[in-house]
């Protein structure tokens, strides 16, 4: 069986990204820079022959939706966007919308080097790693079997875990992957390539 190509994109910069507020299932609008990032990604897709025929899919959260709409416009498409709930960002539960300072006060040591990525899955009523990885892993299994390329607009922790699962990385290594808002990650034939604007 052949594996489909997945073009993975993180949404453009948001107001909350600027102030280091963790969005989770909350939302904030794209900044001017975020809209420019989405436009640059859209124009970059226009130069990639394989992306021209790709289906466009996004998380239903507003920041990913808006980024996908800008990309769709750059590609000159009029078809409605498709959304998949499994592409939502990790839920921090009641901590959605907390700042880095809020989290550090509630969970001392959360950002120490050896623990800096584990707090994501230790919020009182948020998603655990097992639940989250199960959700995005189920999506990935279906996406790999798709019959055409996919452009997928989603979120920071989602892109880390998806790339980690795709590459077979240990959890700790996956959680340390970069999550730029101005790049495309091309997942194809068992490899991951970064494409810059």
Q: pLDDT tens string for the chain (197 positions)? A: 457 999 999 999 999 999 999 999 999 999 999 999 999 999 999 999 999 889 999 999 999 999 999 999 999 999 899 999 999 999 999 999 999 999 999 999 888 876 678 889 989 999 999 999 999 999 999 999 998 999 999 999 999 999 999 999 999 999 999 999 999 999 999 999 999 98
Euclidean distance between CA atoms 50 and 4, whole angstroms: 11
pLDDT in tens, 144-156: 999 899 999 999 9
Catalytic residues, by residue number, are: 11, 89
Q: Please check whether residue 129 is in contact with residue 157, taking contact to mean a CB–CB distance below 8 angstroms.
A: no
Q: Which uninterrupted H or E stretch holds 171? A: helix 171-174
Give per-residue pLDDT as tens, 162-177.
999 999 999 999 999 9
């Amino acid at each position: 069986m052949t594996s489909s190509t997945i073009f993975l994109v993180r949404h453009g910069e948001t107001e909350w990204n600027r102030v280091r507020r963790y969005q989770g299932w909350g939302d904030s609008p794209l900044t001017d820079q975020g809209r420019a990032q989405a436009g640059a990604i859209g124009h970059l897709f226009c130069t990639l022959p394989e992306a021209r025929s790709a289906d466009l899919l996004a998380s239903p959260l507003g920041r990913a939706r808006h980024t996908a709409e800008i990309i769709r416009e750059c590609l000159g498409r009029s078809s409605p966007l498709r959304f998949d709930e499994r592409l939502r960002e990790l839920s921090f539960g009641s901590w959605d919308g907390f700042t880095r300072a809020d989290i550090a006060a509630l969970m001392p040591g959360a950002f120490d080097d050896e623990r800096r990525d584990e707090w994501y899955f230790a919020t009182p009523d948020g998603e655990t790693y097992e639940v989250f990885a199960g959700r995005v892993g189920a999506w990935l299994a279906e996406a790999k079997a798709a019959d055409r390329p996919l452009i997928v607009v989603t979120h920071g922790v989602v892109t880390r875990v998806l790339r980690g699962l795709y590459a077979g990385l240990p959890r700790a290594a996956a959680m340390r992957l970069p999550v730029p808002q101005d790049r495309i990650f091309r997942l194809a034939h068992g490899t991951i390539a970064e494409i810059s604007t």
